[in-house]
Chain A
Amino acid sequence: MVRKELIKRSPLRLLEQSIHGGVGKGNIGIIAARKGTGKTACLVHIATDQLLQDKQVIHVSFSSRTDHIMAWYEDIFREIAKKRDLEDAMNVHDEIVRNRVVMNFNQHGITAEQLLKSLRAMISDGGFAADTIVVDGYDFETGDPRTLVQLREFIRELGLTVWISASTHRDSPNYDKNGVPAMLVPFLENISVLITLTPEEKHIRLRLVKDHDQYRKEDLHLELDSKTLLIREE
């Protein structure tokens, strides 16, 4: 399959349809789930889809070593290329890795200002014209809702889209009446799209909770293949 066709047939197009064309520039989307249910895989799949469309992606991480994150990208790319029998996969790979940069932070002791300063340095000094930022490993429980306000101002100014993963409690998942994990409620104002992952018997289901101005409890008819860790249509 050629690259264009692969993008067109990506299950992520179905996700975009369900959320009115996507998260949108200057907006924040969240993928929330318990630990170990495939949040990183989802983020990396979304990021790789962007990369395949010649977009530039910054992967911000608070939890992993940079080589681990790069290994995630290698795995997801390999699975996509294999599944879709991507033509000229090696060259495509070499091209798209140039458009990705990984930034790793230690959340303890780093302020929102520092984080945004580093991102700005990468974009302006580093000449990295980012389109999308994915953020993995941010701890919402100890996080400050103002961080999201500042982040949103920043991405509005630069016209970026952001996806963030959020770990919910393993033992006592508290949800409000709209199905929003309790820990995310203080942040809701600045979240445009909220998707949750729920493990079922053979796979992990993606559910849309918030779609811009509306709360929905909609099955996206998407699931995470527990073997390849790719998002796929039901």
Chain B
Amino acid sequence: MSEKTTNMRNIGISAHIDSGKTTLTERILFYSDKIHAIHEVRGKDGVGATMDSMELEKERGITIQSAATNVTWKNHPVNIIDTPGHVDFTIEVERALRVLDGAVLVLCGVGGVQSQSITVDRQLKRYQVPRLAFINKLDRTGANPYRVCDQLRNKLGLNAVMAQIPIGLEEKLEGVVDLVTMTALYFDGDSGEKIREVEIPAGLMEEALARRELLLDAVSMFDDELMEAVMEENATTEQIRRAMRRATLANELCPVFMGSAYKNKGVQPLLDAVTYYLPAPDDVENIALDLDAGEQEVVVSSDPEAPAVALAFKLEEGQYGQLTYVRIYQGSVRKGGDLFNVRSRKKFKVGRLIRMHSNHMEDISEAGAGDIVALFGVDCASGDTFCDPRLNLSMTSMYVPNPVISLAIRPKDKASSDRMGKALGRFVKEDPTFRSYVDEESQETIIQGMGELHLDVYIERMRREYKAEVETGAPQVAFRETITQQAEFDYTHKKQTGGSGQYARVAGYIEPTGTEENYEFVNKIKGGVIPTDYIPSVDKGFRAAMDTGGYIGYPVVTVRACVNDGSTHPVDSSDQAFQTAALAAFRIAYLKAKPIALEPIMKVSVEGPNEFQGNIFGSLNQRRGVILSSSEDGNFSIVEAEVPLSEMFGYSTVLRSLTQGKAEFTMEFSKYGKVPQSIAEELREKYEKARKEGK
């Protein structure tokens, strides 16, 4: 293992919106000596933070794109993958989580663990990403790191232990005490760049000793050697750090650091902690799927001489063309070398190989396993795997949820029309949860995504980046339909009047799968009553019928279709005849199988002061929501509910006015649920009407 890989860190900074993530990131860039001035996120001086390179992000004060930036901290190359703080852009988060090895969970010292922190933490847990916590904004009135640390334990169930305590709080925040080295750290100089390491102030000693004991108790659980040393009261800094690292990597411990990025306090010790406690690329086992061996799992090796495997996790349209961010999992990628895109089956030559620093790029000739770099001018989509041409491996497919909302868009003029097409082509490549197509009947362009805000952001981007002005229709929910009982079919398709005829008979049944499986085809034909050649035709016919259900005209899900009898004609049977027969048979059986309409149900989490709890309950109740739980802690409560997506349009405005802007909410897709009878009737009438008019 090269020293370089052992020292390397790929980290994400995950946070609730407004907990100061961007400011923290910028301070990290500053201290690692890459940029030379510190600007505020919201841009008092109009320069803006460096990580948020998109104009729109600057305006909203949020980070949408996950740019990867390379910094060096004390001989450790650190790639910072900036993960979006907003849950509507879940796919961006998922993709970033896929390529990082460790994370810093940033929390606001006043707000503590908020609803988005919970969502972000859940995502980190899903990918088993080891993490440190950083409690920010300790300079703010009401900041209390002890309370936030308790919340990490109680609300997120993390084994969170303070590795530091604050020296002063709120406007009196001066620095932090390091509980491992038992020293006090002050941050001097104009930008806190000079660290003064001195004795712990006498007034804090008792507190520091008590907290250190808690830390050592927690850490020595994972290390016998340390436990012994602690008992003999001669534990060394190295011993403690080693044990903390081991426990953190195993996701058994979450060391807690603190400070105020805005006031330049506590950032450098956090960077030290990243190097001490978060994993190097070779501490993490990565799995690829061997496409030549039935997608068998293989562990990739970080040996720089092994054949290359890399994952394209982000595309960016730059001034000079498409920039593709890749994480290298095995071997090395070299300028001028050959790579093979496993999905498109195309080989290409690596032109320029780039390391991205904050808003400036460095040309490099080679990068090895574990590293994150960018390629220029490669035609690919996000999520593609690039391999050495000798290999046929794919990095495990990322979890991509289906879009739940759609919107019709129209360009305002001819020029916008062309630009809109270009923008859509780009967005679809960048984001697999964003889709676009032209509706055959209405000839309208439809875009689909994961939520209202998700689509809003793309419409804004069209306007700003592509100068495409578009009008939008009302958002439409992606309904589905399914059946609730078994129904049989026996259908003969026959057209034998003159010329070559058509003949096919299929019999069998359809039934609910009872699982998450969307479609299952079962062949129970015996004695070749339907020739083997035509079995795929029957399957194809069923699939075609699943595209548009006969109940409300939406795609059909969770149906098992079984064919168990049929007959054939020596001359008139054909692939087409069996497809037509299967399609018609399915449609007839479908209406007998008691179809129902389904709609996307969102898991909604609303958080706000207790005084507005009644309003929050009421607003969810009015939206056909099922309140699952409410948690009250002090003056704040979090309400979790399941609410149909169709009822959530415009909720942010309503919530704001109900709570004087003091409550906020997040939502993510949970499941498909049955549409109430009255609404299903309406959908059915609309569908019937459209069908009749169509004829």
Residues of A at under 8 Å CB distance from B?
65-66, 69-70, 90, 97-98, 101-106, 109-110, 114, 118, 121-122, 124-128
Contacts and interface: CB of A to CB of B under 8 A. Distances in A.
A125 B628 contact: no
Given A106-B634, A125-B615, A125-B621, A118 B628 contact: no
Contact residue range for chain B? 20 to 34
A128 B628 contact: no
A103 to B, nearest CB: 5
Interface string B603-639: 0000000100111011011000011111111100100
Interface string B147-172: 00000001101000000000000000
B640 interface: yes
21 contacts: A65-B155, A65-B157, A65-B631, A66-B631, A66-B640, A69-B629, A70-B628, A101-B629, A102-B628, A104-B631, A104-B632, A106-B632, A106-B634, A118-B613, A118-B637, A124-B614, A125-B615, A125-B621, A126-B620, A127-B617, A128-B621
Given A118-B632, A126-B617, A65 B627 contact: no
B627 A122 contact: yes
A91 to B, nearest CB: 10
Residue of B610, B628, B634 ringed by the most chain A CB atoms within 10 A: B628
Contacts of A66: 628-629, 631, 640
A210 to B, nearest CB: 31
Contact of A98 (B154, B626, B629): B626
A65 B632 CA distance: 11
B621 A126 contact: yes
Contacts of A121: 613-614, 617
Given A118-B630, A127-B617, 8 more contacts: A66-B631, A103-B630, A104-B632, A106-B634, A118-B610, A118-B632, A121-B614, A128-B621
B629 A70 contact: yes
A105 B632 contact: yes
Interface string B526-559: 0000000000000000000000000000000000
Contacts of A110: 632
Interface string B286-297: 000000000000
A105 B633 CA distance: 6
Interface of B is mostly: mixed
Nearest to B618: A125
Contacts of A69: 629
| Nearest 3 A/B pairs, CB to CB | A126-B617, A121-B614, A125-B618
Contact of A114 (B154, B610, B631): B610
Contacts of A70: 628-629
Contacts of B514: 90
Contacts of A97: 626
Interface string B105-121: 00000000000000000
A128 B627 CA distance: 9
Nearest to A91: B484
B605 to A, nearest CB: 11
Residue of B154, B514, B613 ringed by the most chain A CB atoms within 10 A: B613
B630 A125 contact: no
Residue of A110, A121, A126 ringed by the most chain B CB atoms within 10 A: A126
Contacts of A105: 631-632
Interface in B238-280: none
A121 B611 CA distance: 10
Contacts of A90: 514
B610 A104 contact: no
A56 B606 CA distance: 22
Given A65-B154, A65-B155, A65-B157, A122 B630 contact: yes
A70 B631 CA distance: 13
Contacts of A65: 154-155, 157, 631
Nearest to B157: A65
A109 B633 CA distance: 9
A114 B634 CA distance: 11
B630 A101 contact: yes
Contacts of A102: 628-630
B309 to A, nearest CB: 37
Nearest to A99: B626
Contacts of B632: 103-106, 110, 114, 118
Nearest to B612: A121
Nearest to A104: B631
A105 B628 CA distance: 15
A105 B618 CA distance: 20
Contacts of A101: 627-630
B620 to A, nearest CB: 7
A170 B434 CA distance: 58
A106 B632 CA distance: 7
B527 to A, nearest CB: 36
A70 B514 CA distance: 23
A126 B618 contact: yes
A66 B626 CA distance: 15
A106 B634 CA distance: 7
Residue of B621, B626, B627, B629 ringed by the most chain A CB atoms within 10 A: B629
A121 B628 CA distance: 14
Contacts of B631: 65-66, 103-105
A98 B644 CA distance: 14
A97 B601 CA distance: 15
A219 B629 CA distance: 36
A125 B614 CA distance: 6
A101 B637 CA distance: 15
Nearest to A109: B634
A65 B631 CA distance: 8
A99 to B, nearest CB: 9
A104 B620 contact: no
A202 B259 CA distance: 54
Residue of A103, A118, A125 ringed by the most chain B CB atoms within 10 A: A125
A74 to B, nearest CB: 13
Nearest to B621: A127
A45 B352 CA distance: 65
